[in-house]
Structures are given as C-alpha cells and as structure tokens.
Structure 1
Amino acid sequence: MSTAGRFEEDEMTDDVAVPRGTNATQLGNFNETVILHAIRRADGVSRVELGKATGLSPQTVTNICRRLLDEGLLVEGEKTTGGLGKRRTQLHIDASARTALGAHIDPALTTVTTLDLVGKPIDVERFPTPDDPEKAVAKIARVLKRLIAESGTDGVGVLGVGVGAPGPVDVARGVICDPPHLPNWRDVPVRDELAAQTGLPTVLEKDTIAAAVAETWAGTFTDGCSAIVLYLGTGIGAGLVIDGEVVRGTTHSAGEAGHLVVDPDGPPCACGLRGCINVAASPRALVEIATHKGVLPAPGPDDNLDSRLGMLYDLADAGEPAAREIVRRGAAGVARAALTIGNLVDVSRVVLGGPYWPRMSAYILDAAPTALEAATAASPLHPVALGGTKVGENLGAIGAASLVLDHAYTPRPTRLVLGRPERTGRSA
C-alpha cells in the first residue's frame, strides 16, 4: 500500500496514450487477482477448475495458489472426487485474512463498518452527522480506531479505509467539495485527514459510485452485466455498471440524477425546472412536502430526517389519505427515474438500496409495474428487472469499504494493455 497514506491513482494525462508492454511483476500481480476473483466467485474451486476458468497454465495456477496459501489469503478445504477417481482439494478465500474499513457520510447519518475479505460486514456503527466537518472526521477516526482495537488484530491485515460521500467530490485531491445538503462541508480534505488520524491508506469516492462497487463486489451482478444502482439516502443518485465495470466518469461524478424531472407538475427546483427528483421524490423532499401541506407537524428540536420520514410512512401505512398520496407520488417518481436511467444506458437490471429503502420499498415496488410498462414501450428490446439490494441498508458504508477490497483485489486488464501504473494496496 502507498506509504503516502493514500491509494495511488491511475495516472491521468492529456497526452495521447501510447500502448506499452507490462513487466513480470505487474503480470504476476494481475494473475493473482484473477485467481482470487475466480475463487471468491466460485466459493470453493480446485486448481484444475481454476486453470479451466482462467486460462492459466497448471504450473502458473499451482505457483500462484502456493503463494496465496503462504500469505494466508487462501485455505484448503475438503477434497472432492474428480475424473477417473481423482480427489481434488477445494480452495477457499480465508475471509478473516484481511479487513477493510468504510465510512459513509450522509447529510443525516454517518455509518462506519468493517468488512472481511469476502465483503461480509463484521461491525457497524451509526451516528448523526455533525455539522462541523472537523468534528465529524475526528469522530469517524475514533470509531475506526476503536473497531480495529475491538477486533483484537492490532491492525494486522487491515487494508485501508474507504470513504463514500455525497457529490461533488474531488477524488484526485481527496476532497469533499460542496454537497448541497452539507452546507459547512466546503473543500474538506477528508481523505488526507482520515489517513493522518488513522495511519491507514484512505480512498474517497462519491457514495453512489461506492454503492455500485458494493453490489459488484457482492456478486449481485454476473460478469459482464449492465445495471443501475439507485441509492436512496437524504437525496437520490445512481451508480452505473456497464459490461461489469463501474462507471466513474471524467471527474468521478457519473450518476448525478438530482435534476432528472420525474413529476412535471411537482414543486419548483432551484435549477429552474419543476418536479426534479431532488424536490419531488427524495426522502428529504417527501418530508418537506408533507410538512408544507400540514401532514407532518413542524419539526421539534430532537427530530431528524430519519424520524420524520418514519412518521410520514407510518401515517401512510395507517391509511392517512394525504400521506399516502405523497409517498405514492414520490414512489412513482423514483420508479420512473430508475427505469428512465436504465433505458438511457441500456441495462438489464435496476437495483435500489440505501438507508431509506426499507421504508420506501413497498411503495416503489408497487409503482414499478406502471413505470416498467411505460419504459418497455419506449425500449422494447429487452425487459428491465427492478428489485432491492442484497447488500442491506448499510449499502453506502459497505460500498465505501468495498472500494478498498475492489482496489486491492479486482483484476484490471486495462493496466496491462495501456501500461498504466499499477495501483498500490495489495498487501497490508
């Protein structure tokens, strides 16, 4: 991992890229990630099966597996019967061999988590996001250090820290720029501050992109799949997966959906349009609409977005007409946005998740068939499946930690083809 306290980024240049070869070290590391990827996806596979799956020679597979066993990343499991009575030893990822830490900074709630090597959460902690970014970063660092201490590992095997935050973020500088719902968070160097306070390499990414990485790492999508991950936090954004790769965009801002119009008769937006998803269908917008219409009382000193959204959905569940109309209209907007984006980039799946998905899911899934019918009429080439996340409500934090795992262990063929510098961060 980088001794500078952060992950090294791929080199960016305005010059024309010249294809270059690769050295043996890069090729060896790439082949290791190929082997690890195949074993993780199969959850138990023999060396012979690895050779067939990866196209690597038997000797290469044997050598790499021996190294990974020596490093403690793999363990040998049961023997299975192969052809002609031969018994083959199954290889598995040792989930406890490495851990990754993640923090998701939502305007309402910050979530911190620890993942094992296969992406399973070990610990999760949540707390209201402080308005003061300095206090927020310090608290995140304290929680991270406590989770490491409670693990009993003394930090051995910790790969690093991933941070997911609402955009815009400057990934190259590791800075949260000026999120619309975090008014005091302007040009906050969260990556370098966390790296300094924890002593761990740290990477920052927009939270919707982190969510897409989480679903990809968790195996929600098959290799080569194209999908949308719609994240329901304080606001709503989209993570894009095209041909199995998470799309980040030129400035790591891909998936901004806040000003997609989902209700032409909806509230006016600061951008000059009406009914943008930010003001018509996001969790914050639904609470504001309900307060404006008198469906919810004025907020008290201890109220927050989580509690007030819960009040709104409790009223809707109980059959209160105005509350049901608000949440149903919002749900229709979310479903329409999901499928509109899905058609725009030609995906086969739309996955929804985030902290407010559990409360909103029933209404969105109820609205989905109507939106799906309209979307199919617009793009009849193939159906688009819409459903909930398999990662869970802590999708943002799990996505942040998954950035670290993805960074360290996902094969990147483009680095070999284009001769880009290899990212550091393979070992603890």
Structure 2
Amino acid sequence: MDRTGTNLPAVGEYNQTVVLDAIRRRPAGITRSELAALTALSGMTVTKVCRRLIDAGLVDEHGTRTSGPGKPAAVVKLNPGGGFAVGVHIDPASVTYVLVDLSGTVRDHTRTGTPNAGDPSAVIEEMANAIEALITGSAVDRSRILGIGIASPGPVNVEDGVLLNPPMMPNWHRVALRRALAAATGLPVLLEKDTTAAVVAELWFAGPGSSRDFAFMYYGTGLGTGLSVAGEVVRGISSNAGDAGHLTVDPDGPMCTCGRRGCVGYITVPRALVERAVLNGVLSAAEAGDLDDMVDVDAAFSRLAGLAATGHPGAGAILTGAARSLARAIVVIVNLLDIDEVIFGGPFWARISPAILAALPDAVRDDPALVTPHPVRFAQSAIPVDVAAVGAATLVLDNAFSPRPSALLLAAE
C-alpha cells in the first residue's frame, strides 16, 4: 500500500521513509514528479529527499523518461546494495542465517545445527561466529549491514530480547539473546516471534493488489500462526499473538502436552504424522527412527510425503486427515478475523503441500461452522530459502525503511 507524506518540516524522516518505500515498490524506476503525485509531497520536498537518499547510497539515478512536453525526467531506482540485513531463524532442528539486500534478494545463506543453550555464552559465540562468517563470505561492505533480526519460536519477550520457553527447546528457557548477540557482533539486534517475522516478510514483499488481511500458517517442527489485519502485523500486548496451536480440532484426539486433547498444533506436525504412519503400518519403526530426533523425523516425514505423492492410500489418508484438522482451525481464525487469505510456508510445508491443498479448500468451504460470506484463498509463500529467516532480516529493513504514521505523533511531541 502506498502512503502519503506531509510537507511539514518537522517530519522529514517520515517523508524520507515514504519516498524510499514508494521507490522500493517500483523496481522499474520512478521520476520525481511521479513520486510527488504518488506521495502528495511537494516537488521541492521530493527533490530534497531524493538527494539525501542518493547521497546515502540507498537509491541511484538510472537514465531518463519522457512523458509529455518538456525535458526528459531522471528516473530513480532503489540501490539493492545500499544496505543489508542479517536474518537468523532459530528452530528446534536447525538455525538458518541469511543475508538480504534492500531489494529483498537473499545474497547468501547458511544453516547449522541448533546449539544447546545450556551454556548461553557458548551459544552466543557460535551464533556470532556464524554471522561473521556469512558476512565475510558474502564479500559485502560490513559498514552497510543495518542490523540482525532474530526469529524464534514463541513465547518471546520482544522488549527485553529474551526467549522465554520455546516448545521442543527445553534448554532455551529464558535465554537473553538480543543484548548478548548485539554485544558480540557490534550490530543492532531485533528479536521477534518466528510467525510474526514471516508476516512482516509477506507484507514487505507484497505486490500491488495483494491481500492485506491474511493468516500465515507456519509449518515447521511445530505449527505456528501469524496474522495481518488491514496491512498491519497483529502482535498483541506481549508480541505473542497468533498462537493457534492449541485450538481443539478433535476432542477425542491424542493428549497434547498442554493437557487438552486434539490440539491442532500437536496432531498435525511432522512428528505426529510420522507417529501415525507407524501406528497405521504405513512406515515401519525402523523407517521412522527415533521420534525424538528431528533428523530422523525429517527423513521419515519425507518418506511419508513421497508415498502420498505416489498414490499410497494409507499415506494419502494421513495427510488428508491433517488437512481436515487444519481446516477446522482455519475456520475459527477466518471467522474471528474476517480474513480472506491463508498463506502457507515453513521448512516442512513444500513436501506435503500438494496433498494438503487438494483437500483443504473444500474442507474449509464445506465446514458448517464457517460464517464469513466471502471466499477464502489459499496460497504458498513465494519467499525463498526460509521464510522465517528472511522475515527476520526483513524486520531490520522494515524497522529502518517502512513509513509509520506513529512517527508523526512522536515528532509533534
């Protein structure tokens, strides 16, 4: 969505973000007069802002464009190499690191095993070393690194930068990650819940006409949900909104770790589907391996998805059942927020997406509990590598370059 600016001199920083955001969303380039019309800023204000952005290396001039009488106008475009952000996604199975430029292109990425947080100082050192290796290996100018974003399973304390008690990560209880990593790297650090980071990424990369009201279903080691309403990320009072994993979708289902039965985040995750495949004779115990080892679960999950893709009826039935369980949870979310799109992503999603999406739309549409009068669309995230890691990097870019109307109130104080 394009935002307009103000010609009041007290809010020049806000105007700069408005102009930069407008340029960023037009990769083919835009003239200053077009920027003025788009942002409702005066031509003089736009010229001054563009001059600052060019001097800062954030945008460049690329040729001219003729439109009507008069001399050709210079075209300004985003300079992707004008700034970079590092994104870190902490998952129970692995940690993914990405380096993203201003255009959102992933310049480099690495993945390591998730360190044991029993020794926080060793964890910080290991992560700082991985980040430095990523920056060095990419050969980008370190002075252009704007900061580091961290995406972690919730719950998190965003204000203090603390991982509180992430599921399936018992040794990461109350790890104060943000300040320690900032001290170790010398770079600003932001921390956010992984599903929230994914929503920030989807909004950052959204094209014209994209939905601004959607849920993001993150399918990884666990199941998480991020939310966007009217183009704004729904964070909640403690920045932990969207935890839909404990919605009951099968009252007679297996007992969840929370003490309730049939929680969607317990019965649809990879480990649960692999366990069901063993119980139903679709996979042998040897093929499943150790269900407490995510490396084994990953491999077994791939076998299960492969069987479903080749038409194995037992494997297909397991994934269809998962789709129906997801549909029940989605109906609750859609009814509550009146959203019109659900986007899926995460490291385990692509393997089962054909089977899930074959059954999910009908299961949602035909659910008698669905009350919204509009159709619900289902889409897959187009963000490469790891959407939460890219989202973590996008947090930094969004914090630095997205126009926020609240800045006007701060400037007026």
Q: Which has the larger displacement, 126-135 or 252-261?
A: 126-135
The one-character-per-residue Cα deviations of 1:51-91 (angstroms, maximum 9, x if unpaired) are 11100000000000011011110011132221225422221
Whole-Å Cα distance in 1 between the matches of residues 284 and 187 of structure 2? Answer: 44
Question: What SS does the corresponding residue of 1:258 show, helix, strand or coil?
Answer: coil
Tell whether 2:197 aligns with 1:210: yes
Question: Which of 374, 377, 381 pairs up with 1:385?
Answer: 377
Q: 1:185 aligns with which of 162, 165, 172?
A: 172
2:316 and 2:355 in contact (8 A); partners too: no
Q: Provide the secondary structure at the position in 2 that maps to 1:400.
A: helix
Give 3-state SS (helix, strand or coil) of 2:25's partner.
helix
Aligned equivalent of 2:68: 83
> 1:415 matched to which residue of 2?
407
Question: Secondary structure in 2 aligned to 1:193?
Answer: helix
Contact 1:348–1:382 under 8 Å retained in 2: yes
Secondary structure of 2:147's partner? Answer: strand
Tell me if structure 2 keeps the 8 A contact 1:129–1:136: no
Q: 1:271-317: per-residue Cα shift (whole Å, max 9, x none)? A: 34322112211223212333444534251589433222112212322
Cα displacement (A) at 1:193: 1.9
Are residue 32 (structure 1) and residue 16 (structure 2) matched?
A: yes
SS at match of 1:83: coil
Aligned twin of 1:330? 322
Q: How far apart are the structure 1 equivalents of 2:207 and 2:123?
A: 32
Aligned counterpart in structure 2 of residue 308 of structure 1, from 300, 305, 313: 300
- The amino acid across from 1:37 in the alignment is D
d(CA) in 2 for partners of 1:303, 1:57: 58
2:42 is matched by which residue type in structure 1? S
Residues 45, 91 of structure 1: 8 Å contact kept: yes
For structure 2, list consecutive stretches of 5 or more residues without a partner in the other structure: 1-7
C-alpha separation in 1, matches of 2:135 and 2:150: 16
Q: Mean Cα displacement is larger for which, 129-138 or 95-104?
A: 129-138
Cα 1:158–1:303 change in 2 (3 A) is closer
3-state secondary structure, aligned to 1:230: strand
Instruction: Say which of 103, 108, 125 aligns to 2:110.
Output: 125
1:93 positional shift: 0.6
Question: 1:220 & 1:392 partners in 2: Cα distance?
Answer: 16
Counterpart of 1:162 in structure 2 is: 149
- The 10-residue stretch of structure 1 (335-344 or 384-393) with the greater mean CA deviation from structure 2: 335-344
Contact 2:335 2:372 in 1 (8 A): no
Secondary structure of the structure 2 residue equivalent to 1:69: helix
Distance in 2 of aligned mates of 1:306 and 1:169: 26
SS of the residue corresponding to residue 96 of structure 1 reads helix
How do residues 171-320 of structure 1 correspond to structure 2 at under 5 angstroms? Answer: 171-219=158-206, 222=209, 225-294=212-281, 295-298=283-286, 299=289, 303-320=295-312
1:341-369 Cα offsets, whole Å, 9 max, x none, are 13321112111111111112111211122
Partner of 2:353: 361
Match of 1:59 in 2: 44
Which residue is equivalent to 2:4? none
Comparing both chains, which one has the higher relative contact order based on Cα–Cα distances under 8 Å and sequence gaps of 6 or more? Answer: 1
Q: Give the CA RMSD over aligned residues.
A: 2.3
- The alignment covers a number of residue pairs equal to 399
| Structure 1 position 393, deviation (Å) | 4.5
Alpha carbons of 1:87 and 1:127: their partners in 2 closer, same or farther (altered >3 Å)?
same
SS in 1 for 2:206: coil
- Whole-Å separation in 2 of the counterparts to 1:249 and 1:380: 23
**Deviation at 1:375?**
5.5
Q: CA deviation at 1:112?
A: 0.5
Kept in 2: contact 1:353–1:393 (CA 8 A): no
How far 1:379 moved relative to its partner?
Answer: 2.8
Deviates more, 1:267-276 or 1:107-116: 267-276
Distance in 1 between residues matched to 2:116 and 2:256, nearest whole Å = 24
2:3 alignment counterpart? none
1:97 to 1:375, Cα distance in 2 relative to 1, 3 A: farther
* Identical positions, percent: 43
Alpha carbons of structure 1 residues 65 and 198: separation in structure 2 relative to 1, 3 Å: same
C-alpha contact (below 8 Å) 1:352/1:388 kept by paired residues: yes
Whole-Å separation in 2 of the counterparts to 1:329 and 1:265: 14
